[in-house]
Amino acid sequence: MWLWVASLGAVSLTAQENGQPRLAREELAEAQARHIASAMQLDDSTSRKLIDTYCRFQREVWSLGPRTGRSGARGAHKDADRAIRDRMARSQQLLDLRVKYFDEYRKFLTAEQVARLYLLEHEIMERLSRKAEQGGRGK
């Protein structure tokens, strides 16, 4: 479950059919945060805190680098071992970030609001993943 957070950095968005250029990932993260804040009906001050915190979280996820592929697990024993250990290390790094930012969100959101934030974020990621699979077609 923790890995879906990292998919934002891995999702490759194609240009939209209407000719609009794709958003930079920083712009996309801010747009996602604004959407979440709006859906949660937060006041202006809390919305600003959420947007800032969400964007900082995304930047830290991106700083971990791209996700490693799963193809290494099909190779030699030594390669499979290394690939599995690398994926576990990344999963732990992502979990550590989730814990850190849960504490950050809890400074200005209730636990229920954080749960709603995660749900909305998950829905966005699923939608982006579906769009990427469809080659950017549809909404």
What is the pLDDT at residue 76?
67
Neighbours of 54 (CB within 10 A): 22
What is the pLDDT at residue 74?
57
Residue of 54, 55, 80, 56 lying closest to 68 (CA atoms): 80
pLDDT tens string 14-66? 444 455 666 799 999 999 999 999 999 999 999 999 999 999 999 999 999 88
Residue 33 CA to residue 18 CA, distance in Å, equals 24
Binning pLDDT at 50, 70 and 90, where does residue 126 land? Answer: very high
Q: Is the per-residue pLDDT at 73 higher than 60?
A: no
